[in-house]
A and B are shown apart, each in its own frame.
Chain A
Amino acid sequence: AQSVTQLGSHVSVSEGALVLLRCNYSSSVPPYLFWYVQYPNQGLQLLLKYTTGATLVKGINGFEAEFKKSETSFHLTKPSAHMSDAAEYFCAVSAGSARQLTFGSGTQLTVLP
């Protein structure tokens, strides 16, 4: 079985500041890791994913994440926050025979002017 823990249900940053959203996973087999974003009253949109290969993954809208096996982490970062980044962010894992995604509890990102 796999699981995801997102540290911090709410994160606030100033516009132009670094965004760091934390995600730790648990999996008994090599995981595939995902970050999704949900804007108000919308569905989930994929930001980026890690399957195999390069551990630093670049996604849409300037976001990136680094897979660190030793730390079982997949933190999401963006160098400079924009007001349009305000949304809820979900980290998810799938692994082995479990094709479906297991989601974390989400982190609500607020960007302050």
Chain B
Amino acid sequence: DSGVTQTPKHLITATGQRVTLRCSPRSGDLSVYWYQQSLDQGLQFLIQYYNGEERAKGNILERFSAQQFPDLHSELNLSSLELGDSALYFCASSADTFSGNTIYFGEGSWLTVV
């Protein structure tokens, strides 16, 4: 158990809909990352927050947004969903933003868009 908690574990929704994925980082970790894992794209970095502020942005679509709240939990919002958004979405956390820090991953949220 990494200590990173993600909900829901599985989600099935229709095209055009909006969903929210939730993440609680490890106790004491200030940095939260979101990754997308799909068969064709592999593991892609989406976005990073540190103590409530956006720190880095990767291949995140404009239809997607995220935020980190004062209690450090984070949410990833996916809107106008398309079939191609079906993937496993990981949240991860680390103590701070040092590049050598270990990043701990949750078990992911499986999103299926039908």
Q: Measuring CB to CB, which residues of chain A are less than 8 angstroms from any residue of chain B?
A: 32, 34, 36, 42-46, 49, 51-52, 90, 94-96, 98-106
**B interface residue count range (under 10 / 10 to 19 / 20 to 34 / 35 or more):** 20 to 34
Query: Chain B residues near A94 (CB, 8 Å)?
Result: 99-100
How many A-B pairs with Cβ below 8 Å? 57
Contact, CB under 8 Å: A43 / B105: yes
Query: Chain A residues near B33 (CB, 8 Å)?
Result: 100-101
Residue ID in chain A nearest B48 by CB atoms: A100
How far, in angstroms, from A52 to B98 measured CA to CA in the complex? Answer: 13
Contact, CB under 8 Å: A99 / B42: no
Query: Chain A residues near B31 (CB, 8 Å)?
Result: 99
Query: Chain B residues near A105 (CB, 8 Å)?
Result: 42
Contact, CB under 8 Å: A43 / B90: yes
